[in-house]
């Protein structure tokens, strides 16, 4: 079995993120190259998440690719494009064939392909394209369910129930065009929220009901999953950077100074120096010196952070209100790197069922690499079911694998051995 090399690119409002991962037989994923460019002042994306200046961004991406190719003496041909999900719409599809014909027919691969093509008709908006068609199950003779394609079975009728994940064409085109202008081909397009979920939530939990909260610098994204299926995705346009901006305004200081206090000086799990004066600032407007103890500064930050936690709680509780199932909440993103974040979650009504993800990706501990690693992992697992497939550096031909059907999914997923959780309430 050969090693597989995959490159993945993600463009956010403030960052261009790029990794190259290597899958080694029996060892799993190792990130062998990583690079990101942080943009200050302006944004790479517009309000709809389209790349504003494809030429400029592709120029930056070219440099990243060249850095890898020069260092590793290996040429990349194809790159995974990880798409933002602000314009995501989820559509239900239920195509059928045979229509209860009296003559029983043997289900072939062409029949399954026909169902997949018929499902695409559920996307009737011309300005949107399907990024993923997630098959939930098949219905045989309008009676029995099958969670795998019923190839070779005799049926009178066959239908498929699936969900289509669509993104606006302009978003897909702008992100993929960056790769093309960097003289590479798009290996696959993947959704950032689904890629993140595949990295953060292990197989056992992914098959249950849960919410994934990605609290990053730019926004809070909440994905709701049931039996491995993304049911709904919503976004709160208020990230860690917005918290820093609001507190900086209150303290009358620069954003970089405020960020340093939050990331380096404050630990919400430690009260040892709470009474020490940690901040002094002469305010010209009222000709007074503003002094704050560590405890006072914590409270200012907590007021802003708590407001977002309450909003997250409200959205999750509202969604699961009519769902008669227990669920867990998984937190990831830059906010989880705030020292003592587990204590901040103590104000949450969902504290006892909330968990914080800590990455153990070999070769990449940075929070910004998680979604990209998930995209690489997802494509690797999809390719495990194929005889011939492309990586970022070559086309691999292998003997046909033995297909072992999984319990409740058309796709084949493996345990994520690189996932670690901490219960937010210390359990």
pLDDT category of residue 326 using cuts at 50, 70 and 90: confident
Determine the structural domain holding residue 158 and report its residue range.
91-166
Give the per-residue pLDDT at 415: 39
Please give the structure tokens belonging to residue 134: 């997630």
Strand 395-397 and strand 277-283: the pairing is: unpaired
Give the per-residue pLDDT at 324: 66
Mean pLDDT in residue range 65-88 = 96
Q: Considering the domain boundaries, does residue 263 fall inside one? A: no
Give the per-residue pLDDT at 427: 43
Task: Give the DSSP letter string of 210-225.
Answer: EEEEEE-SS-EEEEEE
pLDDT at 330 over 90: yes
Please give the structure tokens belonging to residue 6: 């995959």
What SS3 class is residue 383? helix
CATH code of the domain covering residue 110: 3.30.1490.110
Residue appearing with tokens 């199932």: 325
Q: Considering the domain boundaries, does residue 26 fall inside one? A: no
3 state SS for 58-88: HHHHHHHHHHHHHHHCCCCCEEEEEECCCCC
Query: Could you report the per-residue pLDDT of 10-56, keeping only the tens digit for each?
Result: 999 999 999 999 998 788 899 999 999 987 778 999 999 999 999 99
Q: Considering the domain boundaries, does residue 288 fall inside one? A: no
Q: Considering the domain boundaries, does residue 108 fall inside one? A: yes
Mean pLDDT in residue range 361-386 = 92
**Among 382, 363, 418, 290, residue whose Cα is nearest residue 80:** 382
CB atoms within 10 A of CB 33: 21
Q: Considering the domain boundaries, does residue 131 fall inside one? A: yes
Mean pLDDT in residue range 300-305 = 96
Q: Considering the domain boundaries, does residue 114 fall inside one? A: yes
The per-type count for the chain, helices as H runs and strands as E runs, is 10, 22
CA–CA dist 333, 308 (Å, integer): 14
Sheet of 328-332: strands edge to edge?
Answer: 229-236, 220-226, 209-215, 328-332, 354-359, 419-423
Please give the structure tokens belonging to residue 333: 């993103």
Residues in the chain: 427
Query: Could you report the per-residue pLDDT of 233-262, keeping only the tens digit for each?
Result: 999 989 999 999 999 999 989 999 999 999
What's the CA dihedral at 360, 362, 364, 366 to 10 degrees? 10
CA–CA dist 212, 374 (Å, integer): 14
Give the per-residue pLDDT at 398: 74
Give the per-residue pLDDT at 63: 97
Mean pLDDT in residue range 93-107 = 83
| Torsion over CA: 291, 294, 295, 298 (sign) | positive
Give the per-residue pLDDT at 410: 35
CA–CA dist 383, 168 (Å, integer): 26
Residue 28 to residues 15, 24, 174, 380: CA-CA distances in angstroms?
A: 27, 6, 32, 10
Please give the structure tokens belonging to residue 72: 């590793």
pLDDT category of residue 1 using cuts at 50, 70 and 90: low
In total, how many domains does the chain have? 1
Give the per-residue pLDDT at 244: 96
To the question of pTM greater than 0.95 for the whole model, the response is: no
Query: Could you report the per-residue pLDDT of 401-420, keeping only the tens digit for each?
Result: 545 444 443 333 333 444 44
CA–CA dist 355, 317 (Å, integer): 16
Residue appearing with tokens 């309000």: 47
CA–CA dist 195, 172 (Å, integer): 16
Q: Considering the domain boundaries, does residue 304 fall inside one? A: no
**Among 131, 179, 165, 259, residue whose Cα is nearest residue 11:** 179
Q: Considering the domain boundaries, does residue 276 fall inside one? A: no
Q: How far is CA 177 from the centre of its chain?
A: 21
Query: Could you report the per-residue pLDDT of 114-132, keeping only the tens digit for each?
Result: 999 999 999 999 999 999 9
pLDDT category of residue 399 using cuts at 50, 70 and 90: low
Task: Decide which of 90 and 325 is more confident.
Answer: 90
Give the per-residue pLDDT at 417: 40
Query: Could you report the per-residue pLDDT of 179-218, keeping only the tens digit for each?
Result: 999 999 999 999 999 999 999 998 888 888 999 999 999 8
Asked whether the beta carbons of 23 and 396 are under 8 A apart, the reply is: no
CA–CA dist 75, 359 (Å, integer): 28
11-20, 80-89, 222-231, 416-425: lowest mean pLDDT where?
A: 416-425
Give 396's strand partners: 389
Asked whether the beta carbons of 15 and 239 are under 8 A apart, the reply is: no
What single-letter DSSP state applies at residue 39? P
Mean pLDDT in residue range 48-69 = 96
């Amino acid at each position: 079995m050969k090693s597989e090399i995959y490159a993945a690119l993600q463009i956010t409002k403030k960052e261009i993120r790029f990794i190259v991962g290597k899958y080694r037989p029996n060892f799993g994923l190792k990130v062998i190259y990583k690079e990101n460019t942080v943009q200050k002042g302006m944004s790479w994306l517009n309000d709809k998440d389209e790349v504003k200046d494809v030429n400029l961004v592709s120029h930056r991406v070219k440099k990243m690719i060249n850095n890898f190719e020069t260092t590793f003496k290996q040429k990349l041909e194809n790159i995974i494009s990880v798409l933002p999900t602000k314009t995501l719409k989820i559509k239900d599809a239920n195509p059928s064939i045979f229509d209860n014909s009296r003559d029983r027919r043997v289900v072939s691969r062409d029949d399954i392909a026909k169902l997949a093509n018929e499902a695409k008709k559920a996307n009737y908006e011309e300005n949107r394209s399907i990024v993923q068609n997630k098959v939930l199950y098949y219905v045989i003779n309008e009676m029995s369910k099958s969670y795998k394609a019923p190839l070779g079975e005799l049926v009178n009728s066959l239908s498929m129930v699936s969900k289509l994940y669509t993104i606006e064409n302009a978003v897909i085109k702008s992100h993929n065009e960056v790769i093309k202008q960097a003289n590479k081909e798009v290996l696959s397009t993947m959704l950032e929220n689904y890629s993140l979920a595949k990295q953060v939530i292990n197989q056992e939990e992914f098959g249950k009901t849960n919410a994934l909260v990605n609290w990053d610098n730019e926004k809070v994204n909440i994905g709701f999953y049931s039996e491995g299926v993304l049911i709904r995705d919503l976004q709160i346009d208020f990230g860690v950077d917005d918290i820093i901006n609001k507190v900086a305004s209150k303290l009358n200081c620069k954003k970089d100074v405020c960020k340093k206090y939050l990331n380096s000086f404050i630990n919400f799990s430690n009260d040892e120096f709470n009474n020490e004066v940690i901040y002094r600032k002469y305010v010209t407007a009222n000709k007074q010196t503003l002094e704050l103890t560590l405890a006072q500064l914590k409270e200012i930050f907590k007021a802003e952070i708590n407001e977002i936690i309450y909003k997250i709680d409200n959205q999750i509780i509202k969604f699961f209100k009519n769902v008669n199932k227990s669920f867990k909440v998984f937190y990831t993103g830059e906010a989880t790197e705030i020292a003592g974040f587990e204590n901040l979650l103590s104000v949450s009504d969902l504290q006892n069922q909330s968990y914080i993800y800590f990455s153990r990706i070999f070769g990449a501990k940075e929070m910004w690499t998680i979604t990209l690693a998930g995209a690489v992992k997802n494509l690797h697992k999809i390719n495990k079911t194929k005889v011939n497939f492309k990586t970022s550096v070559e086309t691999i031909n292998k003997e046909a694998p033995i297909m072992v059907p999984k319990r409740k999914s058309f796709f084949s997923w493996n345990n994520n051995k690189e996932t670690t959780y901490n219960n937010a309430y210390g359990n």
